[in-house]
Amino acid sequence: MPAAVEFRSVSRHFGPASAPIKAVDGVDLTIAEGAFFAMLGPSGSGKTTCLRLISGFESPTAGEICIFGENVSNTPPHLRNVNTVFQDYALFPHMNVRDNVAYGLMVKGMAKAQRYAKAEEMLALVHLDAYGNRKPGQLSGGQRQRVALARALVNEPKVLLLDEPLGALDLKLREAMQDELKSLQQRLGITFVFVTHDQHEALSMADSLAVFNDGKIAQIGTPAEIYAQPKTRFVADFVGSSNVLPPMLTQSLGGPAKWSSLRPETLHLDPTGALQGIVTSLRYLGSGHRIALTAQGQDIAAILPTGTPLPEPGQEIRLGFTPDALHIMDEA
């Protein structure tokens, strides 16, 4: 069975050929059908360009893009069987919600009664049954997001692309929408590809993700793999703000002379612990305390659960961890 989306050494360069800006640089990527796939990375890492390559708003400078086995590198956006939920939702302000949702069916020539029935069905799916007659300007951010979702899904796309779908929502709404997106995807079984710079969002929603850096994929894997076994310093640092330890420090903790990562929450106070440092600051997080310390000139963070006795700033402490918490990376 062909993959939902496949990138074969795809590059997208901007600017002059003599000094190109490599937005996407030789990316190989396979997204399985029915996956909830996240593209995670800082801004400018190439994740959004990759999404636009799938939707067809960018063409690859080199390489091939296949959707369900079909090479679409030269197919214009309106002929691809994918739909996008835009970052700013891009709802048409001059149409009401129902016409917005029915737009894709309208341009394909579906009769009015039929397309309105389908639009209402989709609006019900995103819990906006009663909002068909409203204009997008009369909706809240979260409601607009749902309309954008319904407008894309009504076309029954093979792949749904979401560009920073929750970026404009406040925290509470974002968490509610995360759950809703996830359950929607499981119910519909459509392949979802979403772009985000928020590692929590990527880890909690996706079943697999790609971490982008400088136009290349730094690592692909399940959230658990990426979180526990980052391959590079960049991944360790970007995903879950891990402590990245230089080879010297790794060695002094009993590891090989390689870069390693150590999750803040795997550390605990231990008078016989291997990691010794001076506390520089304490920060209350609600569920715990974040303790910053310096050990051998390196900044280390530890998260201690609420209820444990806390050290004072300036105090020298020792921290322990289970041996498998220290993850050795390939980088020497």
Binders of other proteins among 131-170, rule CB under 8 A?
Answer: 135, 151-152, 155
The side-by-side arrangement of strands in the sheet containing 316-320 is 268-269, 316-320, 275-284, 288-295, 298-305
- Closer to other proteins by Cβ: residue 143 or 261: 143
Task: List the alpha helices (DSSP H) in the chain.
Answer: 47-55, 97-107, 112-125, 141-153, 171-188, 199-205, 223-228, 233-238, 247-252
Applying CB under 8 A, the site for other proteins has a residue count of 26
- Closer to other proteins by Cβ: residue 55 or 232: 55
Q: Could you give the CA distance from residue 186 to residue 157 in angstroms, rounded to a whole number?
A: 15
Is residue 37 within 8 A of residue 192, CB to CB? The reply is: yes
- Closer to other proteins by Cβ: residue 80 or 174: 80
CB of 146 to other proteins, least distance (A): 15
CB of 95 to other proteins, least distance (A): 8
Is residue 290 within 8 A of residue 301, CB to CB? The reply is: yes
Q: Could you give the CA distance from residue 73 to residue 7 in angstroms, rounded to a whole number?
A: 10
- Closer to other proteins by Cβ: residue 82 or 275: 82
State yes or no: residue 47 binds other proteins (CB under 8 A).
Answer: no
Bridge-based pairing state of the strands 21-31 and 36-40? unpaired
Burial of 238 (0-12, 13-18, 19+ CB in 10 A): buried
- Closer to other proteins by Cβ: residue 157 or 264: 157
14, 92, 176, 305: which one binds other proteins (CB under 8 A) = 92
Length of the chain as a residue count? 332
String of contacts with other proteins for each residue 100-119, x by CB under 8 A: ---xx-xxx-----------
201 to 169, 183, 316: CA distances (angstroms) = 13, 15, 36
CB of 167 to other proteins, least distance (A): 13
CA 8-203-11 angle, 5° bins: 20
Q: Which stretch binds other proteins (CB under 8 A): 62-70, 90-98, 287-295, 317-325?
A: 90-98
Binders of other proteins among 54-83, rule CB under 8 A?
Answer: 55, 57, 76-79, 82-83
CB of 58 to other proteins, least distance (A): 11
CB of 273 to other proteins, least distance (A): 52
CB of 255 to other proteins, least distance (A): 48
Provide the 3-class DSSP secondary structure of residue 94.
coil
CB of 33 to other proteins, least distance (A): 21
316 to 118, 129, 222: CA distances (angstroms) = 66, 60, 38
- Closer to other proteins by Cβ: residue 157 or 215: 157
CB of 99 to other proteins, least distance (A): 9
* Residue ranges binding other proteins (CB under 8 A): 55, 57, 76-79, 82-84, 86-88, 90-94, 103-104, 106-108, 135, 151-152, 155
